[in-house]
Amino acid sequence: MKLVILDRDGVINYDSDNFIKTPEEWIPIPGSLEAIARLKREGYSIVIATNQSGIARGLLTTDMLHRIHSKMLQALRNKGGDIDAIFFCPHGPGDGCRCRKPRPGMFEDITQRMKINLSNVLAVGDSERDVVAARDVMARPVLVKTGKGAKTLKTSTQLEGVPVFKDLASFTDSLLRGELVVS
């Protein structure tokens, strides 16, 4: 199975320090939906792995998160794309859960539920925690400069060997041109 794991906020849609709390606040980054559609047409499965601590903080409910994801999925389908699965952590930073990135629990859940080894699977994120979580399961982290990516690029000490792209569209271009070898 050809698989790409994507963080959501800052990779697919604009991020907000105030959290994405409603479907109206979910706004795709230009080119991101088309990039996902291109990956799907080329036979890739697409999985989202996203921290959603706004739920633990009482800023949105799980039902509202599903409404946000419904908007995202409809927008993707309108562009010819789709998502195979969405995994999310509803916990806050202090909850001590195993699923909140940078811990690897969400990625381990993907491994179990999709019955796939994540070794060398590309995992695209915009933060150090995305990189660390991917590495913990032997996935290949990729950083995009959208969202928190530009700041991460300046401050992280965890980026050695991590390919960096302007955005999800430029990552997709590189992958589909064969510049990122997936084993």
Active site residues: 7, 9
Cα 129 to its chain centre, rounded Å, is 11
Q: How far apart are CA 169 and CA 29, in angstroms?
A: 10
Q: How far apart are CA 121 and CA 9, in angstroms?
A: 20
Residues 15 and 152: beta-carbon distance below 8 Å: no
**Strand bridging mode 164-165 / 3-6:** unpaired
Which residues does residue 6 pair with via DSSP β-bridges, in sequence order? 48, 124
